[in-house]
Structure 1
Amino acid sequence: MAESTKSEPESGLLTNIFLEIVQSPINIALVLLISFLLYKIFRRQNETPVRQAAPELPKLKKRDFTVEELRKYDGTQGDGRVLVAVNGNVYDVTKGKRFYGPGGPYAAFGGRDASRGLATFQVSAAGEGYDDLSDLSTMEMDSVKEWESQFKEKYDLVGRLLKPGEQPNNYSDEEDEPVTTGEKSKDD
């Protein structure tokens, strides 16, 4: 009989807790909310995230770009490639398409020279022509150079942005350095 008296207080305690929860609409709502949140937590832990990897584009052969040629690479063309020019150098930023591609926070830089925007911290479309940056202050040019070093570390250099009237270099397939077509002098 001693055993039955021990289980009675335990079952009475659980009954009291259950009755306390069920008798109040606020407690019922809280229990439902807690149950829902626990369900979401455990469900999320069991799910494996499905990320669709963008197809890897072949590396772009190094070449020089005019402003008009660069504009074609804003991420809206068939392959979705995005190029950005910084301080005269052109970088393939396709792997950062969520930033520089259509709909991204820096989409205004896609297919353009981003130097002025990076220097002045203004994300807006650059001018239509070549921007020589000669009117930037020393501090703004330092900012452009710092941005350029970050682009060099993160993205592939694919060429140079040509000034108006400047002729493009011919690059060899094996090297990133331009191939000179002139003859060497006797001193060389």
Structure 2
Amino acid sequence: MDEELGKLGCAISILLTIVMAALAYLYIYQNQLHSGGASLLDMRKLYAAELPDLPPIKLTLEQLLKFDGTRSDGRILVALKEKIYDVSNDLLEFGLHGTLSHVAGMDFTQYLHETEINRWEIILQKNYSCVGIVIESDEDLDED
């Protein structure tokens, strides 16, 4: 009888250890999601990497604002010198908590000095896809 109780106690100890480990994992995972931890960023980066290529687009500045990373698809576009670049895969820089999140969905040409514009143009052309142009209004769409 003592041997059976010993086996039962051992089995219960193992089961409790597994349950505690699972609860600890869920607790940590939940806290990282709510605090904007690395796992959420990694999940968004993986999701962004799966976004399909955009066909050539024409957007007004108002329409461009919608591509700031808050859309359901997570797409992030920026414009420089009226050219639109897809920076969706660079969440560390352009994502919601990124160092350049304030320019997501914007044409940031006007905020830069001429030397900075040239430098950023090289960076964007080298690292990101140019997916379109900025237009003045929806009426400009008919001019093609």
Question: Given the two structures, how large is their TM-score scaled by the length of structure 1?
Answer: 0.48
Q: What is the root-mean-square deviation in Å for CA atoms of aligned residues? A: 2.3
Q: For residues 107-156 of structure 1, what are the alpha-carbon distances to aligned partners after superposition, in whole Å with 9 as ceiling and x for unaligned?
A: 11000111133x1xxxxxxxxxxxxxxxxxxxx22321221121011000
Q: Which of the residues 73, 94, 101 maps onto 1:100? A: 94
Structure 2: 5+ residue stretches without partners: 1-38
In 1, the alpha carbon distance for the partners of 2:107 and 2:58 equals 13
1:19-168 paired onto structure 2 within 5 Å = 52=43, 54-55=46-47, 56-117=50-111, 119=112, 140-164=113-137, 167-168=140-141
Amino acid at match of 1:69: Q
Amino acid at match of 1:148: E
Amino acid at match of 1:155: Y
In 2, the alpha carbon distance for the partners of 1:169 and 1:98 equals 37
1:147 is paired with a residue whose SS is: helix
**How many residues end up aligned between the 2 structures?**
101
Q: For residues 46-100 of structure 1, what are the alpha-carbon distances to aligned partners after superposition, in whole Å with 9 as ceiling and x for unaligned?
A: xxxx965513100011111101110110001101010000111000001112211
In 2, the alpha carbon distance for the partners of 1:169 and 1:146 equals 33
User: Whose Rg is larger?
Assistant: 1
Of structures 1 and 2, the one scoring higher in RCO (CA 8 A, sep 6+) is 2
In 2, the alpha carbon distance for the partners of 1:169 and 1:147 equals 30
- Percent identity between the two aligned chains: 30
In 2, the alpha carbon distance for the partners of 1:150 and 1:168 equals 28
Higher-helix-fraction structure: 2
